Structure formats: structure tokens, C-alpha cells
Amino acid sequence: MRDLVAGMRYLGKGQRWVAQHGRWWGFGLIPALIALVLYVAVLTVLALWSGDIAAWATPFADDWDEPWQGLLRGVFVGLLFAGGLMLSVLTFTAVTLLIGDPFYESLSEKVEESEGNCPPSPDRPLWQEVWIALRDSVHVLLRAAGFGILLFVLGFVPFIGQTVVPAIGFCVSGFFLAVELTSVAMQRRDIPVRERLRLLRGRKALAVGFGTPIVLLFLIPFIAVVLMPGAVAGATLLVRDLVPDEQAPEQAAGQGGAAAPYGQMAAPGAYGPPPASFPPNQGPPQAPPSPRPQSGPGSSAARPPAGW
């Protein structure tokens, strides 16, 4: 439950960041607007042809009496359009990130710079970055499509298909949407897509808490365009806390350990291990103490200095 709430907070943090940096919010709107026009056209075609698709997919119901034929095909049309919307939500992010890869890379990098300790981007040409993003998106979408087909079939189960399955579908969509949105910051750290999935599977509630509200909000017309820059910013902040910082150990190793504060003992091993020749729990051998000077007639202490 704590991770669910934390995921929602990252979405709020991202929106707050772009609200405080209005120029970057406008910068991030450009690819989302281009993708929106494409998806509106595709969904319009799907809505116009959904009845014909339902009749083609259910030829066995041609001889059924009403209302059973209309009920079956009406359910099919509803599920088809719901599946199209779910697929649109998932692929909208992937397509928008693909179109706007240079835009969102700059936005994510700016977020990290404002937070401090921004990792350097891999030294790769733009075409290679786009190819990696496309390959990773296809990998994620194929996995999401497998879950989508399973949920589509389960949608025909009475009662469960109309209550439980849609709720599970939104959570699954939220998880994979979180995978897509975090890809910008993960790719900067050169983390492969399989490792990204493993990291987010280890914190499923965090990923679902971040991605599911975005899925629900993206169903509202045009809201996806407005929220997309903040979603990328929030995903970047999430990655900064999810992925361990590997810079600190390297810096500590390069410095050979830090000195203890004044008045405190240094931690064992802070200045390196003792030489191998010394016995354990002992320091270097001490020189034998010099004999105490004596004040007799023959002693050097009683002898006057030369030239006296």
C-alpha cells in the first residue's frame, strides 16, 4: 500500500516540476500533439468499422434470433473498442516517446540536472538511440499484447469479465506504461530492457501506483497531451530513487576512504588494511627502549660536552 501511494506521489512531483518550468512543459507538448492527431484518426476508423468487424468475427451468430445476436455482437464491439483504447494508451506513450525522443531526453536530463548528479548519456548517434528505443518498445508491447489477449478472452466470462477483468486490465496497463515512461531515464543509464522489467517487477506496487492513474487520466480526451511532459518528469524522479546510485562507491574508491571527523575514531579499514607482515591485532614492532642515562662518573650524562 505504501508503494502504491509513493507511485502516485511521483506523478504529482512530475507535474509540479513541469508547472515550475513552463518552458519545458511547452517543449514536451510537441511530440504528444503529433501523436494525438494520429491516434484520433485510427480510433475514428475503428469506431466506424467495429460493427462490420464484429459481424465478420462472429459468423456463427448469423442465424441467431434477436436479442441474442445483437447482444453478442454488442459485447464484442464494446470489448473491441475497449481493447483498442487500452492498446492506444499503451502504444500512445511508446509512439510519443519514439517521435519525441530528442525532446524527452532533453526534458529528462534537465530534471536530473535540477536534482543534482545527472548521469552522462551514452555516447551514441541519434539513429542508434531511436533504434534502441524502437526495439525496446516492441519488446514491451509484445509482452503487454500477450496479457491483453488473455484479458480479452476472459472478458467473455459472465460477471467476472465485466468487473474483475477490467480492473486487472487497468493495473496491467499501468505497469507497462510505467515501463515505457521510465525508459528515457533508464536508457540514459544504459540499463537493458530486460533489467528494467526486472527492477519494476521487484516493485510492482510502485510501478502500478505510478502508471495506473496515468492510464485512467489518458482516457480523458486531450488530457494525455497535457500530462505527458509531467509523466516523463515523474518517471525520471522515480528512476532516480529506484536505481541504486553507483557513483558514490566509485568516488569513495578513488579517494581511498574519507577521514573521520575531528574527535571520532576512523572506521576500521578506512585507511586500508595493515601490512601482511604484521601479526593480527598488532601494530608494527616497537624499537627497544634506550637504557636510562646514569649519572655516575663514567656516564655520558656526567661527561661535559666537547670543547668545554
User: What confidence tens digit (pLDDT) does each residue in 50-75 have?
Assistant: 888 888 887 887 778 778 877 888 88
With cut-offs at 50, 70 and 90, classify the pLDDT of residue 269.
very low
With cut-offs at 50, 70 and 90, classify the pLDDT of residue 237.
very high
Find, among 200, 38, 31, 180, the residue nearest to 107 by Cα: 31
Distance, in Å, from the CA atom of 158 to the CA atom of 156, rounded to the nearest integer, reads 6
Q: Is the pTM of this model over 0.85?
A: no
With cut-offs at 50, 70 and 90, classify the pLDDT of residue 116.
confident
Please state the rounded mean pLDDT for residues 199-217: 91
With cut-offs at 50, 70 and 90, classify the pLDDT of residue 273.
very low
Burial per residue of 149-176, b for 16 or more beta-carbon CB atoms within 10 angstroms, e otherwise: eebbeebeeeeebeeebbeebbbbbbbb
More confident residue, 110 or 293: 110
Using a 10 angstrom Cβ sphere, with 0-12 exposed, 13-18 middle and 19 or more buried, the burial of residue 245 is: exposed
With cut-offs at 50, 70 and 90, classify the pLDDT of residue 42.
confident
Q: Which three cell numbers stand for residue 243?
A: 536505481
Residue ranges covered by each domain of the chain: 2-244
Distance, in Å, from the CA atom of 133 to the CA atom of 179, rounded to the nearest integer, reads 12
Residue carrying the nine cell digits 573521520: 260
pLDDT of residue 231: 92
What is the end-to-end Cα distance of the chain in Å, rounded? 91
CB 239 within 8 A of CB 210: no
If one counts every other C-beta atom within 10 angstroms of the C-beta of residue 35, the result is 24
